[in-house]
């Protein structure tokens, strides 16, 4: 309400209206009841499960036809002085997600407007490779490994944007469900619980559109699933098809090109892969040689084709990649590790990110995390492994996930020696990027320990340890102790959140967080037999208790579901940018003068111009055009300032200078003569540039455009 009306109304502002309270209560109750009923249903869920993939694909089609997305491009309405919230149906556009609405979305629209060439003459106003650095839709080999960009190539800008968001959102949940179903030994409700925690986690939602966040989980978990089915395929066509899919997914993962998240998540998915391969080897000891002879030809052939495609893409963009590697920022970044403990303060407060985005530092995106009930997953895993070690029956999945967790934790807290960091590739991982992989590991561990705790072997061990013939209902005090433990653990985490973020966590926020955490811990910590209802035999008892616990787990996941859905807006269409009156005029002038080169006051205006195909020098420079800036700085005095990824502002002045207010911004002061040196034709400005005309350069007002003025830059004639 604050964003739209300027009036602070809500739970955390102390100004709760009856209408808002009723809507919040009814919405949460309806969602919770729906999840519980679905989880306990014996008919509805099997039907949904059977047709889950046709339903998912149908949902994607409906969302694309309706042009729905989670983009914050409605920010352009206010930025360009036009209608705010244009197309926003629910929620609010997030200004902090400028990497999406200001950077990537205009670049993608630029590609649609100009034919989607691999080298764009629009971005930066000069030849710019778009296949690898901030990869954009283009007709090239690299795009074959970026399926979520295909929509731009065949559906246009608005529906392409919808496909980019919708397909990734739906497939993220679906692939997470399928992968966690392996971890949960086929328990569908438990896998659905984990899929909600992954697909709607605040950190995934805040970073959803950039750095290949959703793609990392889709392709990574897809690799685990494909490997699982490939190893167990029973026909040659299946082996060839799955081998091709495995190699393609590997290429997709490799070309995300964001090692800060790729590397730690590779350890995570690699651990699941090692566990599955080990289990397969044990299952096929007698026929291992035969199996390998059948698998090697399709796998090797597919990998060769994929490596050739990926190599061709990298070679084609090599100059751009080298230009990025040699910049001051981001450059060839190296990290020694350490300093992770401060990030764990975010694991519980992350639920408040969407409600109090301005209260987090350094910003809400950086402070977001997985809500995984840390430290229950890792502590439960260590406890179970210790108990299993005494019987020499260690669970392979639990061990593999815990080992991956240990490696990442060690790097995050203590760091690694330089050589070891280089060998493990963890020297390319900033500490602040580790919580993404650690949060997923926490969720996977949580799913696994709940699965193991409900296994008949565990119940049999429980009975034998107490000399019982069958597992018995725990005494009442056991349930009370579990309730007390839930309340206590939730209180400890809420207190830790208050201590780590005193400016954010007041008494009201702490109480809310304690209630939420308690609600999430209870269905995990209560003894399973607490849920029994009139069960006569041990198998029925186990089935009923597991079904009931899973239902309550899905109900508790409502909290994460709501927190995730509140991050990004529900946006329809792209009119806020594409139908702007200012940009329609820019597009018209560009079509009449296709060779014209534009400059603007700042990168925001520059990004608006490139979105309709106007070549703009100071659109965001994803890597620098050193030759251009050296024409203004022949001695290289300011090279450290402009040799970087930069949002560039241009200001007329009496002398040339370059400044960096932040590491990714560049303020350039240019003389009127410098505008000619840059080769600019038009300058879109909010200032009166005519006053800067000299006897060498003339700024001629062409026309007002929106709240700005368009000037033509010409050499003055005698």
Do you find a cis peptide bond into 375, omega within 30 degrees of 0? yes
**What per-residue confidence (pLDDT) applies to 290?**
87
| The token pair that represents 395 in the structure block | 């669970």
Q: Name the maximum alpha-carbon separation found in the chain.
A: 107
Question: Residue 67: is its pLDDT beyond 80?
Answer: yes
Average pLDDT over residues 619-643: 94
% of the chain exceeding 90 in pLDDT: 55
Is residue 349 helix, strand or coil?
helix
Q: How far apart, in whole angstroms, are the C-alpha atoms of residue 579 and residue 585? A: 10
**What per-residue confidence (pLDDT) applies to 38?**
66
Do you find a cis peptide bond into 537, omega within 30 degrees of 0? no
Residue whose structure tokens are 């050739």: 308
**Separation of CA 405 from chain center:** 20
Q: Where are the alpha helices (DSSP H) in 284-353?
A: 288-316, 318-325, 346-349
Give the confidence band of 540 by pLDDT, cuts at 50, 70, 90.
Answer: very low
Question: Residue 544: is its pLDDT beyond 70?
Answer: no
Length of the chain counted residue by residue: 718
**What per-residue confidence (pLDDT) applies to 543?**
59
Give the confidence band of 631 by pLDDT, cuts at 50, 70, 90.
Answer: very high
Q: How far apart, in whole angstroms, are the C-alpha atoms of residue 575 and residue 569? A: 15
pLDDT in tens, 687-707: 999 999 988 999 999 999 888
Give the confidence band of 277 by pLDDT, cuts at 50, 70, 90.
Answer: very high
Question: Residue 17: is its pLDDT beyond 70?
Answer: no
**What per-residue confidence (pLDDT) applies to 404?**
96
Contact, 684 vs 582, CB < 8 A? Answer: no
Contact, 596 vs 616, CB < 8 A? Answer: no
Three-point CA angle 54, 167, 558, nearest 5°: 85
Question: Residue 561: is its pLDDT beyond 60?
Answer: yes
| The token pair that represents 599 in the structure block | 């400059």
**What per-residue confidence (pLDDT) applies to 15?**
44
Q: Supply φ then ψ for residue 690, to 5 degrees.
A: -60, -30
Question: Residue 477: is its pLDDT beyond 70?
Answer: no
Contact, 118 vs 131, CB < 8 A? Answer: yes
3-state helix, strand, coil in the chain (%, to 5): 60, 10, 30
**What per-residue confidence (pLDDT) applies to 351?**
82
Sign for the CA dihedral angle at 595, 596, 602, 605 comes to: negative
Question: Residue 228: is its pLDDT beyond 90?
Answer: yes
Q: Supply φ then ψ for residue 129, to 5 degrees.
A: -70, 130
Question: Residue 413: is its pLDDT beyond 60?
Answer: yes
Q: Where are the alpha helices (DSSP H) in 501-565?
A: 507-525, 538-556, 558-565
**What per-residue confidence (pLDDT) applies to 528?**
53
Q: How far apart, in whole angstroms, are the C-alpha atoms of residue 552 and residue 626? A: 59
> pTM value?
0.91
Q: How far apart, in whole angstroms, are the C-alpha atoms of residue 544 and residue 556? A: 19
pLDDT in tens, 325-367: 999 988 876 777 777 877 777 788 888 888 778 888 788 898 8
- From the list 708, 666, 715, the residue with the least C-alpha distance to 689 is 708
Domain boundaries, the chain: 580-715
Give the confidence band of 527 by pLDDT, cuts at 50, 70, 90.
Answer: low
| The token pair that represents 150 in the structure block | 């295909």
Do you find a cis peptide bond into 554, omega within 30 degrees of 0? no
Contact, 647 vs 665, CB < 8 A? Answer: yes
Q: How far apart, in whole angstroms, are the C-alpha atoms of residue 315 and residue 326? A: 17
User: In terms of pLDDT, which residue wins out, 630 or 14?
Assistant: 630
Q: Specify the DSSP element, H or E, that contains 621.
A: none
Q: How far apart, in whole angstroms, are the C-alpha atoms of residue 616 and residue 251? A: 33
Q: How far apart, in whole angstroms, are the C-alpha atoms of residue 604 and residue 103? A: 9
Buried residues in 605-636 as b, exposed as e (16+ CB within 10 A): bbbbbbbbbbbbbbbbbbbbbeebbeebbeee
- Average pLDDT taken over every residue of the chain: 85
Question: Residue 663: is its pLDDT beyond 80?
Answer: yes
Residue whose structure tokens are 């059948």: 294
Cβ partners under 8 Å of residue 416, min gap 6: 336, 337, 410, 424, 426, 427
Cβ partners under 8 Å of residue 643, min gap 6: 326, 327, 328, 624, 626
What letter does residue 69 receive in the DSSP assignment?
E
Q: How far apart, in whole angstroms, are the C-alpha atoms of residue 403 and residue 278? A: 15
Average pLDDT over residues 200-223: 94
pLDDT in tens, 136-187: 999 999 999 999 999 999 999 999 999 999 999 999 999 999 999 999 998 8
Give the confidence band of 524 by pLDDT, cuts at 50, 70, 90.
Answer: confident
Q: Give the residues across from 10 on adjacent strands.
A: 15
Average pLDDT over residues 221-237: 95
Give the confidence band of 91 by pLDDT, cuts at 50, 70, 90.
Answer: confident
Q: How far apart, in whole angstroms, are the C-alpha atoms of residue 513 and residue 515? A: 5
Q: Cα torsion for 83, 88, 92, 93, to the nearest 10°?
A: -70
pLDDT in tens, 490-516: 888 888 888 777 777 777 778 888 888
Question: Residue 4: is its pLDDT beyond 70?
Answer: no
What does 381-426 look like in DSSP terms, one character per residue? HHHHHHHHHHHT---HHHHHHHHHHHHHHHHHHT---HHHHHHHTG
Kindly report which listed range (44-58, 267-281, 370-384, 519-533) carries the lowest average pLDDT score: 519-533
What does 165-206 look like in DSSP terms, one character per residue? HHHHHHHHHHHHHHHHHHHTTT-HHHHHHHHHHHHT-HHHHH
- From the list 107, 108, 106, 130, the residue with the least C-alpha distance to 117 is 130
What letter does residue 531 receive in the DSSP assignment?
G
Q: How far apart, in whole angstroms, are the C-alpha atoms of residue 688 and residue 698? A: 12
Cβ partners under 8 Å of residue 269, min gap 6: 220, 221, 223, 224
Contact, 397 vs 448, CB < 8 A? Answer: yes
| The token pair that represents 379 in the structure block | 């502590």
Question: Residue 647: is its pLDDT beyond 80?
Answer: yes
Between the two ends of the chain, the Cα-to-Cα distance in Å is 59
- From the list 214, 218, 216, the residue with the least C-alpha distance to 205 is 214
């Amino acid at each position: 309400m604050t964003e739209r009306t300027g009036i602070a109304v809500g739970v955390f502002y102390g100004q709760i209206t009856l209408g808002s309270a009723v809507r919040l209560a009814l919405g949460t109750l309806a969602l919770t009841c729906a999840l519980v009923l679905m989880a306990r249903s014996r008919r509805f869920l099997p039907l949904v499960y059977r047709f889950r993939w046709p339903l998912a694909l149908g949902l994607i089609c409906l969302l694309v036809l309706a042009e729905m997305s989670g983009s914050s491009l409605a920010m352009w309405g206010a930025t360009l002085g036009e209608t705010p919230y244009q197309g926003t149906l629910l929620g609010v556009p997030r200004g902090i997600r400028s990497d999406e609405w200001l950077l990537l979305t205009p670049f993608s629209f630029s590609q649609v407007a100009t034919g989607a060439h691999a080298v764009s003459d629009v971005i930066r106003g000069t030849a710019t490779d778009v296949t690898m650095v901030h990869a954009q839709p283009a007709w090239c080999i690299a795009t074959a490994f970026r399926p979520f960009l295909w929509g731009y190539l065949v559906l246009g800008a608005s529906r392409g944007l919808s496909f980019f968001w919708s397909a990734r959102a739906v497939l993220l949940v679906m692939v997470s469900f399928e992968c966690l179903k392996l971890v949960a030994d086929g328990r569908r409700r438990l896998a659905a619980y984990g899929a909600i925690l992954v697909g709607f986690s605040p950190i995934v939602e805040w970073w959803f559109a950039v750095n290949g966040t959703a793609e990392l989980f889709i392709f990574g978990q897809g690799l685990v699933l494909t490997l699982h089915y490939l190893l167990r395929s029973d026909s040659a066509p299946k082996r060839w098809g799955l081998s091709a899919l495995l190699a393609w997914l590997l290429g997709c993962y490799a070309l995300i090109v964001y090692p800060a998240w790729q590397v730690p998540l590779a350890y995570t998915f690699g651990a699941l892969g090692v566990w599955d391969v080990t289990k397969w080897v044990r299952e096929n000891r007698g026929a291992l040689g035969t199996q390998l002879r059948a698998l090697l030809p399709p796998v090797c052939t597919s990998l060769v084709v994929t490596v050739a495609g990926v190599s061709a893409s990298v070679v084609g963009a090599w100059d751009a990649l080298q230009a990025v590697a040699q910049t001051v920022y981001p450059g060839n970044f190296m990290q020694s590790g350490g300093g992770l403990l401060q990030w764990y303060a975010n694991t519980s407060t992350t639920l408040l990110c969407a409600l109090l985005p301005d209260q987090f530092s350094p910003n809400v995106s950086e402070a977001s995390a997985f809500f995984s009930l840390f430290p229950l997953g890792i502590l439960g895993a260590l406890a179970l492994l210790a108990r299993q070690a005494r019987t020499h029956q260690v669970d392979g999945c639990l061990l593999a996930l815990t080992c991956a967790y240990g490696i990442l934790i060690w790097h995050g807290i203590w760091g690694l020696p330089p050589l070891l960091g280089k060998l493990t590739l963890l020297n390319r991982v900033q500490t602040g990027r580790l919580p993404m992989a650690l949060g997923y590991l926490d969720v996977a561990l949580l799913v696994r320990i709940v699965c193991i705790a409900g296994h008949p072997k565990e119940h049999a061990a429980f009975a034998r340890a107490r000399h019982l013939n069958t597992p018995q209902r725990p005494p009442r005090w056991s349930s009370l102790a579990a309730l007390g433990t839930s309340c206590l653990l939730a209180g400890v985490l809420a207190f830790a959140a208050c201590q780590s973020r005193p400016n954010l966590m007041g008494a009201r926020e702490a109480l809310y967080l304690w209630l939420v955490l308690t609600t999430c811990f209870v269905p995990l910590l209560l003894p399973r037999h607490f849920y029994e209802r009139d069960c006569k035999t041990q198998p029925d008892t186990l089935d009923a208790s597991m079904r009931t616990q899973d239902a309550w787990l899905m109900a508790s996941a409502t909290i994460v579901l709501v927190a995730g859905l509140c991050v990004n807006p529900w946006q329809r269409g792209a009119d806020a940018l594409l139908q702007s009156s200012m940009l329609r005029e820019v597009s018209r002038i560009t079509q009449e003068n296709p060779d014209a080169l534009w400059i603007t006051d700042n990168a925001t205006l520059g990004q608006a111009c490139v979105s309709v195909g106007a070549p703009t020098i100071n659109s965001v420079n994803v890597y620098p055009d050193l030759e251009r800036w050296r024409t203004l700085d022949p001695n290289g005095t300011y090279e450290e300032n402009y040799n970087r990824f930069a949002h560039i502002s241009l200001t007329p002045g009496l002398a040339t200078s370059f400044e960096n207010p932040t590491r990714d911004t560049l303020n350039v002061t240019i003389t009127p003569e410098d505008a000619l040196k840059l080769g600019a034709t038009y300058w879109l400005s909010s200032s009166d540039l005519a006053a800067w005309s000299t006897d060498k350069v003339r700024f001629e007002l062409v026309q007002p455009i929106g709240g700005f003025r368009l000037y033509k830059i010409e050499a003055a004639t005698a």
